[in-house]
Structure 1
Amino acid sequence: MPAPHNAFKAALADGQPQIGCWVGMANAYATEIAATAGFDWLLVDGEHAPNDLNSILEQIRVIEGSGSHPVARLPIGETWMIKQYLDAGVQSLLVPMVESGDQATELVRAVRYPPHGVRGVGSALARASRFAAIPDYLTTADQQICLLVQVENRAGQAALDDILATEVDGVFIGPSDLAADMGHIGQAGHPDVVEAVLDSIRRIVAAGKAAGILTLDPAMQRKCLDLGATFVATDIDVTLFARSMRASAKAGQDLLQPDNS
């Protein structure tokens, strides 16, 4: 019996666009709500949300039981951390702040078993192998791991061709960090930033890799999809919740205002 099939990785390889949402509430109950919404994939954030591996694993379990595919973002691309996420059964990883081809190459090695990589062979202890219930896990796991890397500053953009020459499955462009590095902090919609993002997506698609982005701007979402981006996140659970709660509170407070009609 082989490692579980990664339908998300297969869809990206086939060029089938996948619409996702960022999950940053750091709570399995809230994640379960997102998992019933109908997104193709959900990104459980370990970089900017107050998550650790245990809380991420709780949310991964919830998403696995839904029609959405779980992706986890690490706080940093450390080999030891990648090993723990993989052994926990996370098959799709997003690694932030990748700035060189050499760095991308080391990440590829981190998600693969020897002799092609350096992933530790401890699958008998791991949830990934169903605790040794998958006899062919060691020989089939590499093919089902989806490694996505983030390019989100000028150094990463300058090295984009080198990164694309590695065996990463896809490259995600981070508009907010890129905007800050370009001198336009808080202005992801600045024309220079937009052009840099779209140029990067063109290059990623031309190289035969999956291109991804998180943007709440519908026009930008459309442009990226039209250029061939295949993993596009269109919203964030935290901002959705905050926006709805504020609107509800305002509507309630408005009831207390005099009716001047």
Structure 2
Amino acid sequence: MALPVNRFKQWLGESRVPVGTWLMTASPNVAEAIGFAGFDYVVLDMEHVPVDVPQAIAIMQAVAGTPADLVVRLPWNDSVMVKRVLDSGAKTLMFPYIQNAEEARQAVASTRYPGRGFRGVAAVHRASRYGTVKNYLQEAEREIGVILQLETPEAIAALPEIAEVDGIDALFIGPGDLAAAMGHIGDIRHSEVQDAIGEAVVGCRAHGLPCGIVGADPALVGEYIAKGFAFVAVGSDMSLMMGRAQEYLATLRGETSSTENSGVY
């Protein structure tokens, strides 16, 4: 059996902008439904959602039967968690809160087998189709995607050094944490935050790396696409559900919907 192609990595080399959303409910059923909604990809969030590895596998299995591809945001730049999530079948990993080139190198190395890194070697697991992909150890690196999140002004300042690290497939700007680190917590649309986001995407493009971001609504995400972001995400399963619920209730009660926010997702 051949190792499946990482579609997300392929999309990064295309001119169109893939559109995704976040998975925050920790529900395989909701993940499967969102996978059928039409998004190119979905992001399983293990950083802010209480999802452990067995739950993550159930969500991976649910999404695998849909047209959407899956990205897993790790809880931290932790090589043990990287090993377990990769062996569980994840192909594209997003590492949160990368601050400098050394942390970037550690992240990449944790996804590579000895010779190129320090990923632990196991033969029979979900990633190798339980040992049926005979050349998995030799070919795994080709199909693994590494996305690093830059979430502070210090990380954006270090972007030129981070971008030089071999093995990075894309960078991702975390607007919520960036706004907080800049003293504008909860105000992603603040002009200083948006200027920093614009600076970051220009830096990524200058170094030949695709850059992604998430926004709360189509209007903001449309602005990000216009700035040159190569892939974007809008909202989350939870925010989409809550937004529609509030919209329906406001209509029935003759009230103004309270779904507008400052950029949370």
Report the TM-score, using the length of structure 1 for normalisation: 0.93
Q: Which amino acid aligns with 1:111?
A: T
Match of 1:22 in 2: 22
- State the 1:98 CA deviation: 0.4
**1:114 pairs with 2:114:** yes
CA displacement at 1:217 relative to structure 2 = 4.1
Residue 223 of structure 1 deviates from its aligned partner by 3.1
Equivalent position of 1:162 in the other structure: 161
Cα distance change on mapping 1:14 and 1:248 into 2, 3 Å: closer
Contact 2:204 2:210 in 1 (8 A): yes
Q: Is the 8 A contact 1:178 1:193 kept in 2?
A: yes
In 2, the alpha carbon distance for the partners of 1:192 and 1:249 equals: 35
The equivalent of 2:41 in structure 1 is 41
**Matched letter for residue 46 of structure 1:** M
Alignment of 1:91-240 (within 5 A): 91-124=91-124, 126-166=125-165, 167-240=167-240
Which secondary structure state, in structure 2, belongs to the residue aligned with residue 128 of structure 1? coil
2:259 corresponds in structure 1 to: none
Tell me if structure 1 keeps the 8 A contact 2:32–2:65. no
User: What do the CA deviations read for 1:84-138 (whole angstroms, capped 9, x no partner)?
Assistant: 00000100011110000010011110001110011111132x1000111000101
- Where in structure 1 do 4 or more consecutive aligned residues deviate above 6 Å? none
Partner of 1:56: 56
Aligned length: 254
Cα distance in 2 between the residues matched to 1:23 and 1:74: 13
Deviations 1:8-67 (A, max 9, x none): 101103344110011111001111110110100000111111211111111111111111
- Cα distance in 2, alignment partners of residues 91 and 238 from structure 1: 24
Residue 253 of structure 1 deviates from its aligned partner by: 4.7
Distance 1:27 1:8 in 2: 22
* CA contact 2:217–2:235 (8 Å) conserved in 1: no
Please tell me the residue identity of whatever aligns with 2:31: T
Could you say if the C-alpha distance between residues 202 and 36 of structure 1 is closer, same or farther in structure 2, counting changes exceeding 3 Å? same
Work out the CA distance in 1 between the residues paired with 2:26 and 2:99: 28
1:83 and 1:119 in contact (8 A); partners too: yes
Which structure's CA Rg is the greater one?
Answer: 1
**TM-score, structure 2 normalization:** 0.91
What root-mean-square deviation, in Å, do the aligned CA atoms of Structure 1 and Structure 2 show? 1.6
Q: Which runs of 5+ in 1 are unaligned?
A: 256-261
Counterpart for residue 258 of structure 1: none
SS of the residue corresponding to residue 71 of structure 1 reads strand
Residue 262 of structure 2: aligned partner? none
Question: CA shift at 1:254, angstroms?
Answer: 5.3
Superposed displacement of residue 178, structure 1? 0.5
Shift of the alpha carbon at 1:252?
4.4
Letter aligned with residue 151 of structure 1: L
Amino acid at match of 2:132: A
- Alpha-carbon distance between aligned partners in 2 of 1:164 and 1:123, rounded to the nearest angstrom: 32
Q: Matched residue of 2:127: which SS?
A: helix
String of CA shifts for 1:179-198, please: whole Å, max 9, x gaps: 11101111100000001001
Extract unaligned runs of 5+ from structure 2.
256-265
Q: Which moved more, 1:59-68 or 1:76-85?
A: 59-68
Secondary structure of the 2:235 match is: strand
- 1:211 is displaced (CA, Å) by 0.4
Query: What is the aligned partner in structure 1 of residue 7 from structure 2?
Result: 7
